Every structure is written in structure tokens, then in C-alpha cells.
Amino acid sequence: MDENTKYKHDRQLKQLFELRGTASPGLDFTDRLMSKVYQPATDNNMNYWTLSGVVSLLVLGLVVAFSVWPELRENFQVIFNIANNFNINSLWGEAASLPPLIWGSIAVIALLLLLDRFIIRMLHSI
Amino acid sequence: MRQTSKMNNRDDSFYIDKIKNGETEAFRYLVDKYKRMAFTLAVQVVHQPEVAEELCQDAFLKAFHGLSGYKGDAAFSTWLYRIVYNTAVSYMRKKRRYTLPLEAEVLQVDDGSLDPMEQLSKDESLRMLDQALLDMEEEDRFLLTLYYLEERSVKEMAHIVEQSESNVKIRLFRGRKKLYTILSSLLKQEVDSLRLS
């Protein structure tokens, strides 16, 4: 195929694409997008996993606090007693019997979940 | 063309600075300016307008939240189309287990003896172009649209699809040849069917 023919074919294809033009998204595209843009930053940054991470850390913090200060357990027991006959000490006995490896794993997972957004952002910015 | 591109770039940076300074509303200008092309490119990859529209929304949102990372090394549109491309291709990869299609055999046509485009009416041409594009890989459709509609340089296209310039050149060359060949073949079929009837 000589250069002229190639150029002609290319020109014809270009004309076709131009004739076809660009497609239009829905009329509300911009408004819909802007409403998402205006959503509070927490909606975008605080996703399910981050929330799970925070909850996991809170639970873990409570467990550590219970193990360090037994009086705290007693105080919580008072609160639970108001509601029902829930015995926090028996529950604590069950939980305390779990091997440290499990608690360590929970702590690592919680930290990873909490930090995932920051890690992704950091990688994205590199 | 180059002058217009520079001017647009300056326009964009003006609005980008505004957004970075907290004027969120300035993003509307960029969305309105690029939504058609972004949507067209996304449609080329996913071939479903409804899905393409949602992917474009995601791509624009990613662009908005990642604007602090945009340093202005490339035109804003190049940066945005790269996000659109990655979003659309990721969607396709998730949608189906991604397997590289076999290299389609390039059809043979009689060069010079047939001048297909000139024999087609406008509607027929567009119908056949759509049909021909359907037979091509989504990445090739994306590149051809950038090449013919936006007149992007190979360097810019390579930046958008994150491939080497030589790879883009080859894909573009093969894509253009294949598209023309498919169109010619479609026209032949049309002419033959008319003759038979």
C-alpha cells in the first residue's frame, strides 16, 4: 500500500470518527457528580473498613484496660447488673483463656484496617 | 492546534488552583469540559452507556480527591483520561476473568480497487463504524478514539494507557489497519447482498 493510499484511508477514518463525534452522558451527570463531590469528607474517607478498624481497636482497648485494672471490670459489672444478671467475670474468664496469638492477630488486623486508607493514599501519591 | 492545547491547559490550571484552594465549585467547569470525551472513551472500553456513565462518575471523583497529587507535568485531560482508562479497564477485568484475546487475523483487501468509505452514506458509515469497532479489542477502540478524535500524540497516549510509546505505535498501526480492513469487508458484504437481491 503506497503512502498516498494509507494517508487517504487514515483521512477517511478520521472523518468517520469526527462524524460520529463524542457521546453524551445523562443530562444530570454534572449535578449528580457535584453532589457526590460536596458530600462531607468523612463519607468518602471513613469507609466500612476504617469504621471496622476503629471498633476493633475500641474493643481491644477495653480488653487491655480490663486486664490491667480489675477494678474497671467491677465498675462495669455494676452497670451490667442494672440491666440483667450478666456476669462480666465469667465472660472475662473465657476471653482471658484465649492464647495471646489470637489477641495479637486481632490487634494487627485492626491496625491494618484502620490504616488501609492511609496506605492506599500513600501508594497512590508515589 | 498546539496553541489551543496550551490555552486550554492554562485554563485548566486556573480552575485546578481554585479547587486546590478550596473552591469546590470550580470542579464543575472541568467536569462540563471533559465529560463528553471521558464518557466516549469509557463507552469504547465497556460498550454499555449506563455502566460507562457510572465509571465516569467514579473517575471524576477519583480525579477530584486526587487533585493534590496532580503536579501539572501532563495536561489535565491526559491525567483524567488515564484515570478513566484505568477505571474502565479495571471494571472489565473484574467483570470477566481477563484473558488476552488471540491476535485476530488481519483480513486481506484489494488495495486501491475498492474505496469503501466513499461509497457509503453517512448513516451507513456510522453504523458500519460501530459494527467494525465491536470486532476490535477495547484497548484498541480506546486508542483509536483518542487518535482520531483528540489527535493525541503517541507520547500522550502512551502516558494515558501506561504503555511504552513503541507499543502504542504498534497497537495504533495494527488497529487502524484492522479497522479499515473490517470496514472494507463489511462494505463488500453489503454490496454482495445487494447484488444477490
Q: What is the pLDDT of residues A73-87, one digit of tens each?
A: 777 766 666 556 666
Q: In this complex, do B69 and A125 lie within 8 Å of one another by their Cβ atoms?
A: yes
Residues of A with CB under 8 A from a CB of B: 1, 5, 9-10, 12-26, 29-30, 32-34, 36-38, 44, 124-125
**Position B100 pLDDT exceeds 70:** no
pLDDT of residue B42: 94
Quick one: pLDDT band at residue B143, thresholds 50, 70, 90? very high
- Does B51 score more than 90 pLDDT? yes
Query: In this predicted model, what pLDDT tens digit does every residue of B109-137 receive, in sequence order?
Result: 344 444 555 555 677 778 888 888 888 88
Please tell me which residue, A49 or B186, carries the higher pLDDT value: B186
Do the beta carbons of residue B8 and residue B48 sit within 8 Å?
A: no
- Of A12, A20, A25, Cβ closest to residue B126: A20
CA distance B185 to B107: 8
- List the one residue out of B66, B117, B110, B195 whose CA is nearest residue A45: B66
Instruction: Give pLDDT, residue A14.
Output: 85
For residue B44, give the chain A residue with the closest CA.
Answer: A23
Please return the burial class of B43, using the count of CB atoms within 10 Å of its CB with bins 0-12, 13-18 and 19+: buried
Q: Which residue of B has its CA nearest to A31?
A: B28
B64:A37 CB<8 A:
yes
Cα A24 from Cα B53, distance rounded (Å): 9
Which residues 71-110 of chain B have a CB within 8 Å of chain A?
none
What integer pLDDT is reported at residue B6 of this predicted model?
Answer: 45
CB nearest B145 (choices: A5, A17, A30): A17
pTM over 0.90: no
Could you report the predicted ipTM of this complex, rounded to two decimals? 0.71
Segment B69-90 shows an average pLDDT of: 91
- As to burial, measured by CB atoms within 10 angstroms (0-12 exposed, 13-18 middle, 19+ buried), residue B102 is exposed
Please tell me the distance from the alpha carbon of residue B51 to that of residue B42, in angstroms, as a whole number.
Answer: 9
Looking at the predicted structure, is the pLDDT value of residue A46 above 60?
no
Nearest to A33 among B31, B126, B183 (CB): B31
> In angstroms, rounded to a whole number, what is the distance separating the alpha carbons of residues A18 and A25?
18
Residue A116, min C-alpha distance to chain B (Å): 16
Which residues of chain A does B36 touch, with a Cβ-Cβ cutoff of 8 Å?
22-25
Percentage, residues of chain B above pLDDT 90: 41
Residue B168 has pLDDT above 70, yes or no: yes
Say whether residue B22 is in contact with chain A using an 8 A CB cutoff: no
Residue from the list B53, B122, B179 with its beta carbon closest to the beta carbon of A13? B179
